[in-house]
A and B are shown apart, each in its own frame.
Chain A
Amino acid sequence: MLRRSRSAVAAVRQAATREHGFAVPTVLLMLLAVSSIVGVAVTSAVQAQRGTTRDADTKLSLLAAEAGASQALLHYNRVPTTPATPCVVSSGGTATLAATGANGWCPTSTGTVNSNVFNYEVLPGNGTIEVVSTGKADGIDRRIDVSASSSSDQQIFSEFNVQAQDSITLDSDASIYTSTATDGDISLLSNARVCGAASVGIGHDLTTSSNAGWYGSYAHPVCTTPMDPGDVPQEELTLPPVNQGDAPTNNDNDRFFSQDLISGNQSKVCFDGLKGDGSAGTCGSRVLDLSSNTAVTLGGSTYSLCRLVMSSNTNLFIAAGADVTIYFDSPEACELSASEPQIGLDSNARITATGGAASNIALLFVGSESIETTIQLNSNTQVAGACEQNFVIYAPLTHIEMDSNSVFCGALAGRTIHMDSNATVFTDSGASQFTLPNTPPHYVMDRFIECTSTPAADPPDGGC
């Protein structure tokens, strides 16, 4: 027993004096510690990277959604629809016509952009479309809601007979005796008056100063019901652009002056570089220039002009019972500068009907976003002065200037309207019913809204 005990003690002593190591556990512990530190760093980096990737995906999905909305507008501007099949459905690069579903929405269209998927649904309306487009990128969805409108075949003046996209300014006894609306401000100065319903843009005002006033109604010749400018309603107003279609090439311009005859001195009227007597004139391409007691009577249906210049007691007559549409082409196509008004009426010039049956005349201006275009009515000029015709000027990109006792009767729409020095606008009963030509629609976006990523419920624009 004693011997056994001695040998056990010796074994322990031997083990304690041996130099077998602690290195492996030490290294393992250190590796564990280093791994932990590296692990924390890697986790942080991955999380940061995940955030960056998600940010990129949210932008890509928005891009895809916008691509879908753009494609929808492109298709609806290019593919003619029918009342029975008002939908243009796109899938796999093919666009087909289809009917709406029970909820009034079109079947879903799909597409891809840069490997990201989009799909969209369209709610077609009367001159409007609403597009709800969803873009997807790496599991991130974003939805947008885009509304667009077209002037084609629309009764633009059904609610307001005088409209301006940016602003309306009346000065020095100028008066509007009909309903008036703008997407900007209405400013009434120096005895100016608006007599009729009025509306300004969201966040904009109707202001009056120096005896100017807004009246709620008009009973010839008195404006009644003074209104508080602070009560003017605010509404969005969008004037869709003019689509002139093939009017620049397919028109009745060749009626000048063989069928649309000149009254007065033939040499005082010029169109497209030629005077009425056949000699060379100084007027430019598609410019109709009347001067010195002359008149021209229009009997065609569609004309395409760059400019109309009238002065010194000239008259442009519309044949009785005729429906005349005059398109004024863009300043780019006409090579006009900003200083050249597309209509310049001066010194007792008049545009009017010859009498008899009611006539319809529309002066439609394509205008330009980059080159300023203007309409100038000056010095006792009259447009439909007898106020018996359905007379319309629709110029959503053009500035309208009325000055010096100029009178306009009908419906009027421009980018801005400025009236001065006793300029007056009346209206007739038919102007508000005027329907713009049924050219192929050209939809232009007028509202963009971002929606929740998934619709709250049917219809597709839920959550927008």
Chain B
Amino acid sequence: MANGRPPRRVQRVRHEGGYALPELLIGAALGLAMIGSAVALFTTALGAEPRTSARTADIADARLFAESVARELRQGRSAPTATATDLALITYVKRSPCAGTAPGPAIPCLVTYSCEAGSCTRAVSETDGTGAGPAVLMVEGLASDQVFSYAPDVVDPSFIGINLSLAAGPGEDSITISDGVTLRNPPWPVES
């Protein structure tokens, strides 16, 4: 104080400077713009969330469906019914009885996939069709019910393809999940 300089505390305040009005205005404008964008984004996301969640779930279901069908095809024995929308497959299922819930050794069962109105169901029964369990919804939201394909032909297929096309909503791309399996368990007698 003796040399006429302001105290150190005052000097520190002076160094930190002030808020220039333009900066404050620009900063506020940017902040508002960011907050506005974030709110708009959040609002949009919030509005689209149910649709996005449903589509994500459909895609996940479709992938799971494709994987489970592929697994059952891989260890299947024959395909008594083979059309583009329906597949009845005699395959090994680790349940006892076939339509039961209790795990057991792998036994031959009749697994039937049916696709209709954009949805596919799966039902399990004994190989002669008795003891059928309920049809369980496996996947929905399909753009086409033509899910299964066969090679070399539907009478005695050695390769079965799976093609799941998910319908595209407004502003969405359509999604197709494809897989295919060569049947492993020979021979393949098919009922005439």
Contact = CB atoms under 8 A, between A and B. Distances in A.
Partners in one complex: yes
Interface of A: 7-8, 11-12, 14-23, 26, 29-30, 33, 165-167, 183-185, 201-205, 234, 236, 238, 444-450, 464
A15 B10 CA distance: 10
B16 interface: yes
A16 B17 CA distance: 7
A184 B19 CA distance: 90
6 contacts: A11-B6, A15-B14, A23-B23, A26-B31, A203-B80, A204-B189
Given A23-B23, A203-B128, A449-B92, A18 B17 contact: yes
B90 to A, nearest CB: 5
A236 B26 CA distance: 81
B20 A165 contact: no
Contact of A203 (B75, B78, B92): B78
A15 B27 contact: no
Contact of A202 (B13, B30, B108, B184): B108
Given A11-B6, A448-B185, A203 B108 contact: yes
Contacts of A33: 34, 38
B80 A11 contact: no
A202 B34 contact: no
B171 interface: no
A185 B27 contact: no
Interface in B9-35: 10, 13-14, 16-20, 23-24, 26-27, 30-31, 34
Contacts of A23: 23
A183 B23 contact: no
Nearest to A448: B184
B50 interface: no
A18 B189 contact: no
Contacts of B121: none
Interface residues of B, number: 37
Contacts, number: 99
Main secondary structure on chain A at its contact with chain B?
Answer: mixed
Given A166-B187, A203-B80, A448-B75, A26 B27 contact: yes
Contact of B17 (A21, A185, A236): A21
Contacts of B26: 26
Contacts of B78: 203
Given A11-B6, A21-B20, 14 more contacts: A7-B10, A11-B14, A15-B13, A21-B17, A26-B27, A33-B38, A202-B90, A202-B108, A203-B108, A238-B187, A446-B186, A447-B185, A449-B75, A464-B106
B186 A184 contact: no
Contacts of A445: 184-186
B110 interface: yes
Given A21-B20, A234-B127, A448-B74, A11 B13 contact: yes
A12 B13 contact: yes
Interface of B: 6, 10, 13-14, 16-20, 23-24, 26-27, 30-31, 34, 38, 71, 74-75, 77-78, 80, 90, 92, 106, 108, 110, 127-128, 184-187, 189, 191-192
A450 to B, nearest CB: 6
Nearest to A14: B14
B19 A165 contact: no
A451 to B, nearest CB: 9
A203 B127 contact: yes
A450 B30 contact: no
Nearest to B71: A450
Contacts of A14: 14
Contacts of A238: 187
Contacts of A449: 75, 92, 106
Contacts of A21: 17, 20, 23
Nearest to B107: A202
A128 B87 CA distance: 32
Nearest to A201: B189
B164 to A, nearest CB: 15
Contacts of A201: 189
B187 A165 contact: yes
Nearest to B41: A37
Nearest to A36: B38
Given A16-B18, A19-B20, A449-B92, A7 B6 contact: yes
A26 B191 CA distance: 75
A174 B116 CA distance: 45
Contacts of A234: 127-128
Given A234-B127, A234-B128, A22 B27 contact: yes
B106 A20 contact: no
Nearest to B88: A203
A20 B14 CA distance: 10
A19 B38 CA distance: 30
A236 B14 CA distance: 95
Contacts of B10: 7-8, 11
Nearest to A239: B187
A180 to B, nearest CB: 16
A243 to B, nearest CB: 17
A408 B127 CA distance: 33
B189 A165 contact: yes
A20 to B, nearest CB: 2
A21 B20 CA distance: 7
A133 B31 CA distance: 61
A373 B19 CA distance: 98
Given A12-B13, A15-B13, A236 B18 contact: no
A32 to B, nearest CB: 11
B6 to A, nearest CB: 6
B19 A22 contact: yes
